[in-house]
Structure 1
Amino acid sequence: MNSPNIKILLTVLFLVSIGVHSNHSLTERDSGTQLINDLLSSNIHGVQVPTINGKDGPLALVLQNLRITEVILPGSVIRVKQNSPLVLTLNVNDAALNGTSQFLSNYKTLLLQQTDEGILDFSAKFGFSVDVIPDMESKTLQTENCRVQPLKVKISVLDTLLQWLLDLLTGLLQTTVERTLDDVICETVASTINNGGNPVFDVFAKHLG
């Protein structure tokens, strides 16, 4: 075998080796999984959004004091996505949350204006992934490309007076909550990882090489 062919073979074997060793997983029993899950659960559980506006034609909506009251995060999986630069991807699947919010609604047309208010409970099943870039020199983490899996939100409305208006509002309530959760989940995930300090950095750094 001539020299160029040997170089090609070695290159292929090296790339295959990288591919074999570049996928790492954390099981639910791993202490790193538990650390990240505990931090994410605590921070997402603490999310509160003072005011959110929604609108759909003659319907206007204000959600007030939206709070996430419960979070369930199952085991995470961390895997190497690529090697140059090295990027790790954190996946969380089959997660769930519950929350509550007050709402004010206004239905306004040329002939009618009607307002209503009430309290809603919501629940959602979701998952997300986020790319994590470790900087070995500064021992910090950066996040990008957070993606929330399609949320499946269920709404339950309490203490409302006008059922006919509620029937019109249900879709707007659901999409407004979904859009809000999509934003706050990614914001919270990024903040938790970026500001997690050495313990969180160590979880990702041990998967480098």
Structure 2
Amino acid sequence: MDLFETVADVRPSREAIAEGAVLLRGFARPFEDDLIPALREIVAQAPFRHMTTPGGHQMSVAMTNCGGSGWVTDRSGYRYDGLDPQSGKPWPAMPPSFRTLAEEAAAEAGFNGFAPDACLINRYQPGARMSLHQDRDENDFGAPIVSVSLGLPAIFLFGGLARSDKTRRYRLEHGDIVVWGGPARLAFHGVAPLADSEHALMGRQRINLTFRRAR
């Protein structure tokens, strides 16, 4: 295999999965040398925790946040809060590498001018899942969602605007990004139970960075 074939093999690909929704294969890989250390610093300041839903169910996915607003859930409901309820302090600032990646991925998907103020960080360990849901706690539905996958592969479920709509399944690998907005902004989506494996860089886990415009 010559040099030109090697470069072509690793070049990110762009795949439309619905009107307003795009899968960018491998788009985050050039950023990983900056993303991983920044992620570790965030978790050191605001550790992962298993939040409780309003119905009293403890989520299988562990979460933390960075940015001006953080998504939280407890008995009182789903919401964004500028303070980490565990520490009472502001969430860690969004690292420049995070912001740059989100903005560039959104632009590649056709959403120029995206300015995220919140990044929900989910940690999936083997067996963890995310049931079908809509991202509708934000004030601005005009901005897209940018979802970055790191670590173990996962099966991403993407449906329509009704929970009963048929879902399609996409295998997301380390470095893949899904962006959805416009007519797909309120599409139901989720993640199937994570299969057990070992990722060379991230270990036995999948990390998902979800960038949003919350306020």
TM-score by length of 2: 0.28
TM-score by length of 1: 0.29
The structure, 1 or 2, with the larger RCO (C-alpha pairs under 8 Å, 6+ apart) is 2
| Bigger radius of gyration | 1
Instruction: Judging by fraction of residues, say which structure has more helix.
Output: 1
Instruction: Judging by fraction of residues, say which structure has more strand.
Output: 1
